[in-house]
A and B are shown apart, each in its own frame.
Chain A
């Protein structure tokens, strides 16, 4: 295994610790969905996007939209590590008058778009990708969506535009953890066969394990998958990934660990840290 992959795997463990810490300390957060998408954010921000505090105000760079805005604690964790703001700023999360709230807002440096109402991010990403084409930019737009979020009709409206405008500079990543608030996505409102849906909307589809650094990296390095076609990565993930008692539990969608649970979770993560 390459040094880079080992390095990122260790980072993922640290990120999980920070995410749990800020949720625990602030008393609120979307634990399950944050842990399921952390490995994807890790690879994006450390190896793919090249978005830094220095180039953030530049108009010709890659862009990332966190459409499943409720998993904001994962995004805060990674942006903090990349130097967009200090840990002490992040520690004001959920405090009165803090800009660090339970969904991403552009009041925080590093955040591209205000999200939180599901099903908005992809249309905005499509607009950004068209804009890049018009400007002759060779940069990409990435958007992360939840699988429950895919029930919003607006997602599929955005898909039709993406394929009409041949947006091979658009990368849609689905956090396919198979759970939403009420239960399993396939019980609440079935979305399979998901790959065939995206194919029929004109996308080039890649299916990966979204909690395996190596697979995420390989897939993202292949972008654009095919000229003139929008890209979608269906990332099969485990909601709550990394902490055994949180994994795959519908109740952990926005549950906050108790003191005892927090200790056990941290011990479990510390054991795997080298």
Chain B
């Protein structure tokens, strides 16, 4: 039942290497982030397909836009925190506004860096990039999604941001073995409650659904891997058949998955009970990723408790 896979970050690197071996136009761009991005093998095997800029994330993104303009297929790889904060204006102007199809790979995202603290966390990336026109945002849940999104990214004609964590992830069941950017993955179907999650929190939602199943609650679990463009239809279909919705994300409660759902629910006048679980707007407690997620209500047990309370 608990089929533990690899870290999604490793899957990213393996998939990119395989793709790049077949396509000489693929170039990885790094900012002293080759090791953290698991691209050491890539660099050794394909030294002509990697560009290193040093610790200079703004330069990384601007230069990537230029490479993409020159017809290359660009994967710019840097810690999600610095990539989406330090280089925000390069993402906005040089990539998105100028419409250069760079794939920005945010590594060790969310609170993957644990005790390294707030400078290294990206709890803002969904919110920040959602407000930028012409960039898609994806957070793969498991190894399958982590690999598929890279294959899609190679021929994706728009700016794209992909967010990766670094902990080994469970291989999740899924209803449909197709992967499309912008089409949610239904992990399991249910009729009582919808748990919608994204990235590394999908596994926690799934584990919560197993606890709830033992309590006789039939849970639908959705991996909303694409935060933008959002799969409104998948969410609406689900809340039309269940009685309540909980969103779970490794991101600020402001501007992320929860508020995507909230906007759909309120503007569509759906009548569902709803709760957002994420990182609250406070000085974040210090700890490992797992401890911090547990602390903020994202352990499978706490998600199950919140579900029972919401349905009551």
A7 CA / B53 CA spacing, docked (Å): 42
Most buried by A among B52, B117, B287: B117
Given contacts A103-B120, A117-B119, contact A153 B58 (CB under 8 A): yes
Q: Does B285 lie within 8 Å of A96, measured CB to CB? A: yes
Q: Does A148 lie within 8 Å of B117, measured CB to CB? A: no
Contact of B119 among A69, A98, A180, A181 (CB under 8 A): A69
Q: Does B119 lie within 8 Å of A151, measured CB to CB? A: no
Q: Say whether B152 faces chain A, with CB atoms less than 8 Å apart.
A: no
- At the interface with chain A, which of B28-36, B123-131, B155-163, B304-312? B28-36
Q: Does A189 lie within 8 Å of B81, measured CB to CB? A: no
Given contacts A102-B116, A103-B120, contact A151 B286 (CB under 8 A): no
Q: Which residues of A contact B34 (CB under 8 A)?
A: 182
Q: Does A97 lie within 8 Å of B285, measured CB to CB? A: yes
Q: Say whether A101 faces chain B, with CB atoms less than 8 Å apart.
A: yes
Q: Does B55 lie within 8 Å of A180, measured CB to CB? A: yes
A119 CA / B59 CA spacing, docked (Å): 13
Q: Which residues of B contact A116 (CB under 8 A)?
A: 116-120
Interface positions of B from 257 to 312, Cβ below 8 Å from A: 285-288, 291, 295
Q: Which residues of A contact B55 (CB under 8 A)?
A: 118-119, 148-149, 151-152, 180, 189
Interface mask (B37-80 → A, CB under 8 Å = 1, otherwise 0): 00000000000000011111011000000000000000000000
Minimum Cβ distance to chain A for residue B71 (Å): 25
Q: State the interface size on chain A (CB cutoff 8 A).
A: 29
Minimum Cβ distance to chain B for residue A146 (Å): 8
Q: Say whether A94 faces chain B, with CB atoms less than 8 Å apart.
A: yes
Q: Say whether A115 faces chain B, with CB atoms less than 8 Å apart.
A: yes
**Who on chain A is nearest to B116 by CB?**
A102
Q: Does A103 lie within 8 Å of B119, measured CB to CB? A: yes
**Who on chain B is nearest to A187 by CB?**
B52
Given contacts A101-B116, A116-B116, A180-B32, contact A148 B285 (CB under 8 A): no
Q: Does A151 lie within 8 Å of B56, measured CB to CB? A: yes
The number of A-B residue pairs with CB atoms under 8 Å apart is 84
Q: Say whether A212 faces chain B, with CB atoms less than 8 Å apart.
A: no
Q: Say whether A266 faces chain B, with CB atoms less than 8 Å apart.
A: no
A98 CA / B54 CA spacing, docked (Å): 32
Q: Does B32 lie within 8 Å of A153, measured CB to CB? A: no
Minimum Cβ distance to chain A for residue B183 (Å): 35
Interface mask (A99-138 → B, CB under 8 Å = 1, otherwise 0): 1011101000000001111110000000000000000000
Interface positions of B from 181 to 223, Cβ below 8 Å from A: none
Q: Say whether B241 faces chain A, with CB atoms less than 8 Å apart.
A: no
Q: Does A117 lie within 8 Å of B86, measured CB to CB? A: yes
A28 CA / B59 CA spacing, docked (Å): 30
Q: Say whether A188 faces chain B, with CB atoms less than 8 Å apart.
A: yes
A117 CA / B117 CA spacing, docked (Å): 10
Given contacts A103-B117, A117-B81, A117-B86, contact A98 B286 (CB under 8 A): yes
Q: Does B287 lie within 8 Å of A96, measured CB to CB? A: yes
**Who on chain B is nearest to A92 by CB?**
B286
Given contacts A182-B35, A189-B56, contact A94 B285 (CB under 8 A): no
Q: Which residues of B contact A119 (CB under 8 A)?
A: 55
Q: Which residues of A contact B288 (CB under 8 A)?
A: 96
Q: Which residues of A contact B35 (CB under 8 A)?
A: 181-182
Given contacts A152-B56, A153-B56, A181-B32, contact A114 B119 (CB under 8 A): yes
A115 CA / B118 CA spacing, docked (Å): 10
Given contacts A98-B286, A103-B120, A181-B32, contact A117 B82 (CB under 8 A): yes
CB<8 Å pairs between A and B, sample of 18: A96-B286, A96-B287, A96-B288, A96-B291, A105-B117, A116-B116, A116-B117, A116-B119, A116-B120, A117-B85, A117-B120, A119-B55, A151-B32, A151-B59, A152-B56, A181-B36, A182-B33, A189-B56
Q: Identify 18 new A-B residue pairs, CB closer than 8 A, beyond the known A97-B287, A115-B119, A189-B53.
A: A101-B286, A102-B116, A105-B118, A116-B117, A116-B119, A117-B82, A117-B85, A117-B86, A117-B119, A118-B55, A149-B55, A180-B32, A181-B35, A182-B35, A182-B52, A185-B54, A188-B52, A188-B54
